Amino acid sequence: MKKKKFNDVSFILAVFILTMILVSGIMATFITPYNPFQPDMLHRLQSPSIEHWFGTDVLGRDLFSRILFGSRSTIFLALLSSFLPLLLGTLIGTLAGYYGKRIDSFVVLLSNVFQGIPSTCFMIAIVGFLGPSLSSLLLGFLLTSWVGFSRIIRAEVLKMKEEAFVEGLTCIGCSDFRIVFFHIIPNIFNSLLVLGTLRIGRSILSLAGLSFLGLGVQPPMPDWSVMVSDAILYYRSYPHLILIPGCSIFFLVYSINIIGETLGDFLDVRIDEVRKCRGL
Amino acid sequence: MQGALDSADFRVERLNVIFRVHSETLRVINDVTIVFPYGKTVGIIGESGCGKSVLGQALLGLLPNYAEVKGHIFYKDMDILCVPFSKVQPYLGSEWGVIPQSPTEALNPIRNIRKQFNDIGKNAGDRFFSKQELCDILELFGLQDGERILKTYPHELSGGMLQRVLCAMAVCGNPRWVLADEPTKGLDMESSACVRENLQKLRNVKTKSMIVITHDLTLAKSLCDEIVVMYAGEIIEVNDKLWSEPLHPYTQAVLKALPENGFQAMHGRSPGTNILTTGCKFASRCVCAQEKCQQEHPDLYNIDVSRVRCFLYA
Amino acid sequence: MFGFIVKRILSVIPVLFGISFIAFGMTFLAPGDPAELILDQNGNYFPNAEQVTVLREQLGLNKPWYKQYIFWLGQVIYGDLGTSYHTGNTVFAELQSHLPITLVLAFIALVLAGAGGIGLGVFSVMERGKLAERIIQRGFDFLLSVPIFFMALIFILCMSEVLQILPSSGIKEFDGYFLPAVSLSLPTMAVIGRFTKRKLLEELGKTYCVVALAHGIKERQMLFLYVLPNAIFPVLALLGNFFGGVLGGSVVIENIFAVPGIGSLALEAVKFRDYPLLQGYVLVTGGTFVFISLCMDLLLCYFNPKIKFEDHIL
């Protein structure tokens, strides 16, 4: 496969699209032509036109404004869903890898248990118990996705531990904390970065699926996935109702994936897709 | 020495091979011109990285994708470097046999030995080897219980046995040429002696046209009619009396470094493949070096039937 | 190998216990008092303190958590998973009626993903460097960036409206499974496809493949007899891992295609805050996935000659 470079057309396009989405999210209040919450039954279900660039939805709300506002929840979820599990997973994985033995065995068992329940099913249950909201969705996501990071980080730390320089550091009296935070983590930083970036896309899709089912962002807050589910009765006659939010999600994830892969090719990092190490 | 120019010779003309990897340019083979005559056993010796294995790959049309090639290699009026691989492919396994390095990794781990022989046969003129035929060839290389071996998988055989199996595979198609790539690499004295024995047998019974790529001087001495010495991607000596009359200062230094000759080591290291040097590539390490050697690049000069790349013989 | 099998089977037990513990523990996440909730569900909207206390005593809610867990676990092992709050049937009965449908759907989707993914992976290696490979690669990238519900809806649009074939909801006859299964399989197919391609190319770079080429074995033959059998085991292992993802994805698919599987059941449970049903859902999906993973592991172990071989060497 051709290695991706920073001056590829696709990379530049991807950065452009991502920036546009970020900017629209931040500036949404200033640039929306209409109020995204305001129903207007006279102009419902209109196709894209000059007045309404993306048309209107079933309640007459301007789709373009709703898309701009909707990017907020998507970005918010994307950032938190990549950051938090990464943090938690790195912490647990590093502890397991570095201290080994019983802590490690316990973490491996924990990982097997948490990964034994399919992640979507687990998230649905958590949201079911906590009540549907953005925060319960995030908590559910955190609880299911820390394992993926933890496994890979643990493997990397185990490899690092064998390196001669770690032994040297222990010999000169370096404390465990220092070794881990100032020596081991910087060395696995590259892998962390690429892993995190590649995971964002998958996380967004997973969270989008649950939001579509009504388990995440609650109305009237606009959210791209919710916009698709709102249109479930009408999309056959008015396909733009799902095409526009759906493609927005697609472009966002596609851009992030390209950026992640280019970064990975640049840093020459390979992350294996096999999720379950046998732990043997 | 040259004999009649049989078209089943390998004629290399002005071969240049460059590898472009990781944005580096490695000049692996520089302007090599040589003929490997049919019916002769030629040894190519040199240090690691001198380009001898790459030369072997080039001869068979098996250079990797990232290789940039210039020049010609003729075999039976086909230019191996210019034709598509599909034209070269029919010769592999049938007219050309190969004995690869690393016997333990050289075979498909999940296919038994007999099936792998038949895979070769299928492509060497759609031949099917009977069990007896295969046992005979295996016996030739000292493997008595051929029947049992044919049923085994590669991991069940030791390195030495695999090496013999590979020799057998190289000749099962009755090739006109056999290329042996570092056959004694990493082996101890005893195993090396076995390999020498195998190759002698091969030479006596199956084919006299061989190219042996090695840095094992004992092997080269016992097996080869003529020796080609390579250094930093170039041929620096072609000599059939190398052991008694080494010509190039490098060859002389190499022979002096042998335990039986006093173990006198050479100083310095051979130049890397990504460095461009003017003048003779060995000049910086040569005890006979003159000013001319640093500035001008010597050609291959003829001395009787041998050739040397050194101004001492100009 | 026998030791490995036993070890693997035994390793499942603590995991199952762990899953049951999580399923039990999740109730503590729920806001509010469970006794109040039950009374609420049964129509008693403003229970007084006495009713609540009585019910709490009845349900054993005042005991320490580990006693509650053991009691609950005991009931679960006997098949009593409680009663669904909103339907009044036992959780066991609900799961029993809905699970098989999801399992069939998931199984078909997984087979499609495997066959399609491996096929496309092999095809893109055969067509390396050509347009077909690039189209397939783009296709994979595309499939991995589309949310599954969007893809399913587009599918329905195309199939039902534009092309007017196939029903788009309900499962009456077999073809009612088709669209949901295909939609469910596509993302996994892309992952498997990419992974297959990568593994195939990895194998092609290994020594035995280069040697096979040198022996004259044709590329297509080599791909199917040498490379694919070696590369396929990690691919199948990955496929088994994705059963969990397929189970999860089926929730969305069941919702869109109105399939009455456990995904739909779970969504209803969320809507009605039916905690026993949710607990049962976690137990069943977790247990099924762990079981299928185990079967997959053991099957691969049995069929993978390399594992049998490693045993030999050990």
Instruction: Find residues 152-181 of chain B whose CB sits inside 8 Å of chain C.
Output: 153, 155-156, 169, 173
Q: How far is C300 from chain A (nearest CA, A)?
A: 13
Residue C137, pLDDT above cutoff 60? yes
Mean pLDDT, rounded, for B211-239: 90
pLDDT at C157: 83
How close is the nearest chain A Cα to the Cα of C53, in Å?
22
What is the mean predicted confidence (pLDDT) over B54-83?
Answer: 88
- pLDDT digit string (tens) for C15-61? 999 999 898 888 887 777 767 766 666 666 676 777 777 777 776 67
ipTM of this complex: 0.86
At C52, the amino acid letter reads V
Report percent pLDDT > 70 for chain B: 98
Interchain CB distance below 8 Å, C147 and A229:
no
Residue A269: pLDDT above 80?
no
Domain boundaries defined on chain A: 9-35+43-278
- C195 interfacial to chain A (CB closer than 8 Å): yes
* Nearest C-alpha in A relative to C272: A128
Between A177-181, B96-100, C102-106, C262-266, the lowest mean confidence (pLDDT) is in: A177-181
Q: Give the integer Cα–Cα distance in Å for B205 and B209.
A: 11
Q: What's the CATH number for C99-273?
A: 1.10.3720.10
**Cα C55 to Cα A61, A63, C26, C48, C69, distances in angstroms:** 49, 50, 20, 11, 18
Considering chain C, what is the average pLDDT of its residues?
Answer: 84
* C242 and C113 Cβ atoms separated by less than 8 Å: yes
Cβ-Cβ pairs closer than 8 A, B with C, add up to 73
**What digits encode the pLDDT tens for the residues B147-162?**
899 999 898 888 888 8
Round to whole Å and give the CA distance between B55 and B68. Answer: 13
Please check the confidence at residue A279 and state whether its pLDDT lies above 50.
no
Q: What is the pLDDT of residue B5?
A: 45
The SS3 assignment for B273 reads coil
User: Shortest CB distance from C145 goes to which of A114, A118, A250?
Assistant: A250
Bridge partners (DSSP) of residue B214 are B45
Residue A254 reports pLDDT greater than 90: yes
pLDDT of A182 higher than 90: no
**Are B100 and C211 inside 8 Å of each other by CB?**
yes
Residue A127's alpha-carbon distances to A81, A205, B298, in angstroms, are: 15, 17, 80
Question: What does each C-alpha distance from A19 to A23, A24, A36, C204 come to in angstroms?
Answer: 6, 8, 22, 40
pLDDT given for residue B173 in this prediction: 84
pLDDT of residue A278: 32
| Sheet order of strands, B10-21 included | B24-36, B10-21, B67-75, B78-79
Q: Does C26 touch chain A (CB under 8 A)?
A: yes
Distance of alpha carbon A213 from alpha carbon C301, whole angstroms: 39
pLDDT score of A275 more than 70? no
The full set of domains in chain B, from first to last, is 88-231 (3.40.50.300)
**What is the mean pLDDT of the segment spanning C195-222?**
89
Are the Cβ atoms of C286 and A109 closer than 8 angstroms?
Answer: no
Pairing state between β B78-79 and B41-45: unpaired
Provide, rounded to the nearest whole percent, the portion of chain C with pLDDT above 70: 86
pLDDT for the residue numbered A246: 93
Asked if residue C112 has pLDDT above 90, the reply is yes
| Whole-number Å distance between alpha carbons of A108 and C15 | 10
Residue B156 has its nearest CB partner, among C216, C230, C312, at: C312
Q: Please count the CA atoms within 13 angstroms of the CA of C270 that sit on its side-chain side.
A: 27
Is residue B244's pLDDT more than 60?
A: yes
Lowest mean pLDDT among A117-131, A159-173, C12-26: A159-173
Nearest to A146 by CA among A113, A179, A174: A113
pLDDT digits (tens, 9 = 90+) for A87-104: 898 888 888 887 778 888
Give the mean pLDDT of B254-270. Answer: 82
Backbone angles phi, psi at A78, to 5 degrees: -60, -45
Give percent above pLDDT 90 in chain B.
Answer: 15
pLDDT, mean of residues B32-43: 90
Mean pLDDT of B177-195: 85
Whether the CB of C57 is below 8 Å from some CB of chain A: the reply is no
Touching chains, C (3+ CB pairs < 8 A): A, B
| pLDDT tens readout for residues B160-172 | 888 889 988 988 8
Query: Does the pLDDT at position B184 exceed 80?
Result: yes
Is the pLDDT at B141 greater than 60, yes or no? yes
C207 closest CA partner among C236, C230, C224, C233: C230
> What is the interface size between A and C, counted as CB pairs within 8 Å?
166
Residue A235 binned pLDDT confidence (cut-offs 50, 70, 90): confident
Number of H helices, E strands in chain B: 10, 12
Antiparallel, parallel or unpaired: β B306-308 and B301-303: antiparallel
Residues shown for chain A: 280
pLDDT of residue A250: 95
pLDDT in tens, A35-52: 778 787 877 787 887 777
**C-alpha to C-alpha distances, A277 to A46, A115, A190, B7, nearest whole angstrom:** 51, 11, 21, 57
Question: Is A144 within 8 Å of A137 (Cβ atoms)?
Answer: no
Contact C216 B89 (CB under 8 A): yes
What's the token pair of residue A94? 């590093």
Nearest to C168 by CA among C154, C184, C179, C183: C179
Query: Which residues from chain C sit within 8 angstroms of residue A137, using beta carbons?
Result: none
- For residues C1-16, give the mean pLDDT: 84
Contact (CB<8Å) C216/B92: yes
pLDDT tens profile B82-133: 888 888 888 888 889 999 988 888 999 888 899 999 888 888 777 788 888 8
Per-residue confidence (pLDDT) for residue A77, from 0 to 100:
86
Q: What is the pLDDT of residues C166-194, one digit of tens each?
A: 555 554 444 577 888 999 999 999 999 99
According to the model, what pLDDT value does residue A4 have?
Answer: 66
Report CB contact under 8 Å: C266, A208.
no
Enter the pTM of the model: 0.84
Helices (H), A27-175: 28-31, 63-99, 101-116, 119-130, 134-161, 164-171
Question: Which CATH code is given to the segment(s) A9-35+43-278?
Answer: 1.10.3720.10
> Would you tell me how many other CB atoms lie within 10 Å of the CB of residue A73?
21
What pLDDT shows up at residue B55? 92
Residue B311 in this model has a pLDDT that exceeds 90:
no
- Residue B192 confidence (pLDDT) above 80: yes
Q: Mean per-residue pLDDT for C255-280?
A: 89
